[in-house]
Amino acid sequence: MITGSITALVTPFKNGHLDVKAYEGFIDWQIRSGTSGLVPCGTTGETSTLATGEHIQAIEICAKVSAGRVPVIAGIGSNNTASAAYMAREAKKAGADAVLAVAPYYNKPSQEGMYQHFKLISQATDLNIIIYNIPGRSVVDIDVETMGRIAQLPHVYGLKDATSDISRITEYKNACGEDFVQLSGDDPTAMAHWAHGGKGCISVAANVAPAQCAAFHKACAEGDFTTARALHEKLDGLFKDLFLCSSPAPAKYALSLLGRMSDDVRLPIITCRDSTKIAVQNAMRKAGVEF
């Protein structure tokens, strides 16, 4: 089952290229630290700036290093339906266990258009599909009725929800069924998401604090919300300060302090400003991340 602390992996770069050695070490560290799933090539992975070959290579590296220890959920989203279907096929060849498909951005499709988009992806692969609803980035919002229809498509496994609307969890459960796995797409709302029936989070903060995030989600899964709340309070600054500049620049800066990779990002993202660096350092200390 895909559940718990699932890291939306950053993609390390060096001299303008994918830093394979850093990526391999980073992935292994994530798993050894307790992360229960990995998402290469999501938004946090700067996928919109990856060439197709780099995209596939990143999935291949993640699957190879993971070696079946945790699920690999490859980001394949695009606002070009044919491209998303192609990447779903390539993700399977690369060794992914599942795919993450975002609502088509920029095009502003109708609800029926989004349904048809995901229908084509479901026909292109037999991997489990996690739908990604993030209206803040994609502009369009997959409504509850449409999600209920999408949930009936072959291979659709669950949802990454980044609306921050906790009331939707029950609504989606009613529309999509008890077996439809719901994951939070926002670290700050992850505990509330669990309390209402969610099963984990695809997390940005877990890049920097994998052990702490794993412990937090373990407590949530066990219903120990006293422990979970205490851990949330330690992690809350990190949850928020990793977005003080355009993501994933702050996360990469934090990882550079940990010696995991450089803080290189690709335009139009730029490295974070000095005030953000100070805030991130303070948030790391509060979260118990030593550097």
Q: Which residues are catalytic?
A: 132, 160
8 Å CB contact between 185 and 162: yes
Q: What are phi and psi of 233, to 5 degrees?
A: -65, -35
Query: Cα separation of 45 and 249, whole Å?
Result: 11
Gap between the Cα atoms of 41 and 56, Å rounded: 9
- Rounded CA gap, 223 and 85, in Å? 38
